[in-house]
Structure 1
Amino acid sequence: MSGHDDSTSYDLAVIGGGIMGSAAAIQAAEGGMQTVLIEKSELGSGASGVNAGTLSLQIKRVRLMPYAIRGHALWEHAGDRVGFRRTGGLTLAFTEPEAERLTTTMAMKKEAGAPIVMKSPAEVAALEPGLNKQVVLASYCAEDGYANSSLTGVYYRGLLAGAGVRVHERLAVDGIARSNGAFILITAAGPIRAKRILIACGGWMKDVAAMLGVDLPIRVRINTVAVTERCPPVVGSVIGHATGLLTLKQKTNGTILIGGGWQGRGTPKDGRGEVVAESLLTNLRLAQFAVPALGSSRIARVWTGFEPNVPDFYPLAGALPGVPDAFILGCVRGGYTIGPYIGRLMGDLILGREPEMPLFDPARFAPAKAQAAATH
């Protein structure tokens, strides 16, 4: 939506129209807040829409597992609207050290609630005959699967409309001021006034928080994803590797999506990141080693997406330190899976409710003075 006369003073303005910002906006609106969402591009056009769509509990950190399980259930509930498929997932070890690492890691994740079982080489071969026969051990989770991340924007656009959230797409926030206890968001189409704000704009969060004088140690990874041409069926499960450096799945149309966090280059300010050939080739070599039939497939497209993180790799989810009525949400590893749920929790926090599960206070990275201000 471009061009507007927003004389309304909203209860909440959400900056960022990805999964987390949208989910928080919907929760706040359904809780009675008059809510506006501002997105500099289109809904779901950032990391929420360009990731590989993997919904694997096996690749989630132990402490985040309860959030991932609940987020996974929300994607399953969305079903065909987001292209949800439960395929089961295998994480492979090809050496004894990898097998030891896999055994230890998956035991902790199973204890955290993921329904993971270990599979012998013979069981792996029976389940997925197209995999490399050098598998030493694998873990399996029947809940693993994927959704179509390119449907994120369409899906949330409908939910936002249903909740009565005012949405402005292709409208950047150029500055934030304070006046009479409210925030004034400066945009090319005019000011937007709100009592509270939520910063949930992914790789751009650091810059927006800086508009309020808050410096958070947010860094950005430039993850690369590749997709092949349509191929005959070669693998049915979501495939990962014990190192965490591979995700692979064949979709119903025959294309195979390949990821694993291999890095491109660039910054959010520059727009889309740039693919680094050597990084991509290393990713593809590992994928072909795991699934040898990929050697006869051609790559159709490669792209990148920005994934923000902080030094401890746990989310920023809570009040913005030192700025009353401002909140921030992002830096969630596995954010595609976890996003719908942690967004709901943030909406509850903004509504003044006690979230069902604890959030991750951003004040842990703030200077002592800002931490003190945030607790008073």
Structure 2
Amino acid sequence: MIHDLAVIGGGVHGGTTALFAARGGMKVALLERGPLCREASGVNAGTLTMQMTRVALIPYALRAHAMWASAREWLGHDVGVVVCDGLSLAFTQQEEELLTYRAGKRREAGAPIELVSGAQARAIEPGVSDQVRLAGYCKVDGFANAYLTGLAYRRALLEAGVDLRENTPVSGIDREANGFSIQTSSGTVRARRVVLAGGVWIEPMLAWLGVHLPIKTLVNQLVVTERVRPVMRTVVGIANGLLSLKQYPHGTVVIGGGWQGIGDREHGGVELLPDRMVGNVRLACHAIPELKGARMARAWAGLEAETADALPAVGPVPGVPGAYVCGSVHSGYTSGPYIARLLAEHLLGREPDLPLFPIDRLLNSSIAPRGPQ
């Protein structure tokens, strides 16, 4: 049997591409080395925000946020989405300047962010510190329960008729006259087209096709508290991006913000760094003082992929007809479903509403400087 499409990588990007391609009439196989959505898509902070999204991705993130908010309709299953207000806080003059600049750029790109005073921020979020000088306020914010993502996608993919193969590592790809021969731990899978959606593993995956694309691996530390009484109702961050904070309906508070641990793509998150974990927690308590009474229940590290210009790698693989890549989306949990859906539309021969992010730009000898964050 030859499939119309094989997707390698079962996170949000791979799962969404496979789902919409299958619903569009393609015979799709999805290959994942472990359970669905248990790498970056299942261990991130679940934040759905415009205030930590790169400016170039704001139009995509807005549409993706709407997808998350209506997940029951298109995914068919609950992923614990909570739509709420969001605040990005500034405690110093330098942070005020940074916040004003970044909020302005994101607003120009379409994000409904307005600047409010510290007093206004406390009216929006009574739990926030009285030391806040300025805040970015956005009504398009929220979060999902990343742990539920894999369960929801599994059910949706099976209902769509996808040939779902979890716990099936892929070791290589060969080009054939009619497409691709994919070597897996349980035999060969053949497909006319292939999508590489392996997150931080996109670099070695592309090497199977003779393409070298460096992908940086971030090792983000996260902390979750015990269940506590309600101390906040918004998503809270700070101007420099080093805090991601929200309280789930059952009472736990998830603290993130990209504080780095030790690890790599081969070994995953190897070691948490206590001093950085403490710094992250102290920053959270500085933003929401009543968190000082909470106890830390668990901490872990999740991997995140990033290209040289911190923009996605989504589109055809140059020089390899029928091969595509989808991943390395900064704040990929927010924007991922929409960007992956765009690729599925392209594969189905339809004109996407917004452009993809072809990797040709990343294969040149020089890369343009990063734009505003």
Q: SS at 2:87's partner residue?
A: strand
Q: SS at 2:101's partner residue?
A: helix
1:112 corresponds to which of 109, 112, 116: 109
RMSD, aligned α-carbons = 1.3
Q: Is the 8 A contact 1:206 1:215 kept in 2?
A: yes
Residue identity opposite 2:239 in structure 1: A
Question: Does 2:265 match 1:249?
Answer: no
**Unmatched segments (≥5 aa) in structure 1:** 1-7, 369-376
Deviates more, 1:214-223 or 1:155-164: 155-164
Q: Is the 8 A contact 1:321 1:366 kept in 2?
A: no
> Per the alignment, do residues 137 and 271 of structure 1 end up closer, same or farther by CA in structure 2, a change over 3 Å counting?
closer
Q: Deviations over 1:130-167 (max 9, x none)?
A: 22211101111112111111111011112212221110
Q: SS at 1:102's partner residue?
A: helix
Question: Does 2:69 match 1:82?
Answer: no
Deviates more, 1:351-360 or 1:63-72: 351-360
Q: Is the 8 A contact 2:235 2:245 kept in 1?
A: yes
- In the aligned structure 2, how far is the partner of 1:365 from the partner of 1:181? 28
Question: Does 2:141 match 1:148?
Answer: no
Deviates more, 1:224-233 or 1:75-84: 75-84
Q: SS at 1:266's partner residue?
A: strand
- In the aligned structure 2, how far is the partner of 1:126 from the partner of 1:12? 51
Identity %: 48
Please identify runs of 4+ aligned residues in structure 1 that moved more than 3 A: none
Residue in structure 2 matched with residue 282 of structure 1 by the alignment: 279
Give the structure-2-normalised TM-score: 0.94
Q: Deviations over 1:28-79 (max 9, x none)?
A: 1122211100000011111111101111111111110010001000100015
2:21 corresponds to which of 8, 28, 36: 28
Q: SS at 1:284's partner residue?
A: helix
Give the structure-1-normalised TM-score: 0.93
Question: Does 2:154 match 1:161?
Answer: no
How far is the alpha carbon of 1:193 from its aligned partner? 0.5
- In the aligned structure 1, how far is the partner of 2:123 from the partner of 2:357? 42
Question: Does 2:357 match 1:360?
Answer: yes
Residue in structure 2 matched with residue 4 of structure 1 by the alignment: none
2:335 corresponds to which of 320, 333, 338: 338
Residue identity opposite 1:25 in structure 2: A
Q: SS at 1:263's partner residue?
A: coil
Residue identity opposite 2:215 in structure 1: I
2:35 corresponds to which of 36, 42, 65: 42
Question: Does 2:12 match 1:19?
Answer: yes
- In the aligned structure 2, how far is the partner of 1:287 from the partner of 1:259? 9
Residue in structure 2 matched with residue 372 of structure 1 by the alignment: none
Q: SS at 1:343's partner residue?
A: helix
Residue in structure 1 matched with residue 219 of structure 2 by the alignment: 222
Residue in structure 1 matched with residue 183 of structure 2 by the alignment: 186
Q: Is the 8 A contact 2:268 2:303 kept in 1?
A: no
Residue in structure 2 matched with residue 69 of structure 1 by the alignment: 62
